[in-house]
Amino acid sequence: MYEIFDVMILGAGAAGLTAGIYSARAKLSTLILNEGAVGGQMVLTNEIANYPGVELTKGYVIANTMKKQAKDFGCKIKTNVKIKNYLLESEIKEVILEDDRIFKAKTVILAPGGKPRLLNIKGEEKFKGTGISYCATCDGEFFTDKEIIVVGGGNSALEEAVSLTTYVKKLTIVHQFDHFQAFEYVVAEVKKNPKIDFIMESELRGFYGNSTLEKVSIEHLPTGKMSEMNIEGVFIFVGYTPNTVTFASLVKLNERNEIITDPEMKTNIPGVFAAGDCIAKRYRQVTTAVADGTIAALSAAEYLRIQK
């Protein structure tokens, strides 16, 4: 006989853990299943300085505190599981693991998070961690006094570029368009920084080196002209990809593969909610993920009340 949970949460980042806290606090039997370690992208953030009510702290500290809060309220957490199949349409939802364990619940909250988008070009996989990075906070110090490239033209790319100038000798931003998408004040800050140069209307085409990154090739898009640049580091900030591939045939996604929800975090399937970086929204912060998780858990609780 299987235990049927009130709420099953898939994902243990900021959104999933918050949903677990609220759901378990409301005396709903709650299970969190997570394919990796607890904390999601929070644990990649060295310092968090703008989480309201909390002075400067570490990402992993907030993650561990959230995990403890959820467990203290009675939420069960199973990490490093591998999920084989989802049955979300029926009244009782099921998740089947690769080891054939089955978990059932009356409601499901999808909170699988996202991951940095890759360029998917030659050498990117080879030099990940030996010259290519997706996290300035994690890896910036390794590039002290080196020359690096930042790829991207949005707020994240430009803000991270400015933060990286604390460490590097020189930084070149490579962007595919002739203008940046970032807010004007962010662009102004980048343009006045003497360490930053720009290569516009261009894209990287390959990474080269032996054990570490030594060189990149760059295409100037209007002319198709190829050039090479000797470089020891490249930081890539070209957006995030939601971890929604496995849900593509289950819930409605938009053209960016983000789960479409209403303001109450409901998906198109009754009893299935979504929260955090996986949903269609503009701003992705720990605080917005926490808000999504809260709303999803409260909506799930309301759904259960109505079903009774």
Partner 1 sequence: MGFDTPEAAPIRNAQMCRGFMGLPFTVYYKNGQMVKATTSIQNREEIESILDEFFGK
Tell me which of 128, 170, 215, 220 binds partner 1, using CB under 8 A. 128
Min dist CB 292 to partner 1, Å, is: 23
Interface of this chain with partner 1, residues 44 to 103, rule: CB under 8 A? 44, 80, 82
Q: Which is nearer to partner 1, 118 or 298 (CB)?
A: 118
Q: Which is nearer to partner 1, 114 or 271 (CB)?
A: 114
Q: Does 13 bind partner 1 (CB under 8 A)?
A: no
Min dist CB 257 to partner 1, Å, is: 18
Q: Which is nearer to partner 1, 51 or 142 (CB)?
A: 142
Interacting span for partner 1 (CB under 8 A) from 8-16, 70-78, 138-146, 295-303: 138-146
Q: Does 35 bind partner 1 (CB under 8 A)?
A: yes
Tell me which of 85, 212, 287, 307 binds partner 1, using CB under 8 A. 212
Burial class (CB in 10 A: 0-12, 13-18, 19+), 13: buried
Query: What HEC string does the chain produce?
Result: CCCEEEEEEECCCHHHHHHHHHHHHCCCCEEEECCCCCCHHHHHCCEECCCCCCCCEEHHHHHHHHHHHHHHCCCEEECCCCEEEEECCCCCEEEEECCCCEEEEEEEEECCCEEECCCCCECCCCCECCCEECCHHHHHHHHCCCEEEEECCCHHHHHHHHHHCCCCCEEEEECCCCCCCCCHHHHHHHHCCCCEEEECCEEEEEEEECCCEEEEEEEECCCCEEEEEECCEEEECCCEEECCHHHCCCCCECCCCCECCCCCCECCCCCEEECCCCECCCCCCHHHHHHHHHHHHHHHHHHHHHHC
Q: Does 113 bind partner 1 (CB under 8 A)?
A: no
Q: Does 124 bind partner 1 (CB under 8 A)?
A: no
Q: Does 138 bind partner 1 (CB under 8 A)?
A: yes
Q: Which is nearer to partner 1, 90 or 166 (CB)?
A: 166
Q: Does 229 bind partner 1 (CB under 8 A)?
A: no
Tell me which of 1, 99, 185, 211 binds partner 1, using CB under 8 A. 211
Q: Which is nearer to partner 1, 84 or 252 (CB)?
A: 84
Residues that bind partner 1 (CB under 8 A): 35-36, 44, 80, 82, 128-133, 135, 138-139, 142-143, 211-212, 233
